[in-house]
Chains A and B, each alone.
Chain A
Amino acid sequence: EADIYQTPRYLVIGTGKKITLECSQTMGHDKMYWYQQDPGMELHLIHYSYGVNSTEKGDLSSESTVSRIRTEHFPLTLESARPSHTSQYLCASGDTGAGELFFGEGSRLTVL
Chain B
Amino acid sequence: GNSVTQMEGPVTLSEEAFLTINCTYTATGYPSLFWYVQYPGEGLQLLLKATKADDKGSNKGFEATYRKETTSFHLEKGSVQVSDSAVYFCALKLDKIIFGKGTRLHILP
Which A residues are within 8 Å of any B CB, using their own CB?
Answer: 2, 6, 40-43, 90, 92, 94, 99-106
Decide yes or no: A43 and B34 within 8 Å by CB, A100-B46, A100-B49, A103-B44 being known contacts. Answer: no
Please, which residues of chain A bring their CB within 8 A of the CB of B41? 105
A105 touches B42 (CB 8 A): yes
Chain B neighbourhood of A43, CB < 8 A? 44, 89, 99, 102
Decide: A42 and B97 in contact? CB cutoff 8 A.
no
Is the pair B42, A106 in contact by a Cβ cutoff of 8 Å?
Answer: yes
State whether A99 and B32 are in contact (beta carbons under 8 Å apart), knowing that A41-B87, A105-B43 are contacts in the complex.
yes
* B45 sits at the interface (CB 8 A): yes
B34 in complex: contacting residue of A100, A102, A103, CB < 8 Å = A100
In the complex, what's the smallest C-beta–C-beta distance from A95 to chain B, in angstroms? 12
CB distance from B1 to the nearest CB of A (A): 11
Report yes or no: B34 in contact with A90, Cβ–Cβ below 8 A.
no
- Residue interface mask B37-79, A partner, CB < 8 A = 1: 0100111111001010000000000000000000000000000
Closest Cβ of chain B: how far from A31's Cβ, in Å?
10
A94: B residues at CB distance < 8 A: 97
Closest to B88 in A: A41
Contact indicator A103/B45 (Cβ below 8 Å): yes
Residue of B34, B46, B102 near A41 (CB, 8 A) is B102
Q: What residues on A are CB-neighbors of B32 within 8 Å?
A: 99
* Max chain B Cβ within 10 angstroms of own Cβ: one of A40, A41, A102, A106: A41
- Distance to closest chain B CB from A30 (angstroms): 14
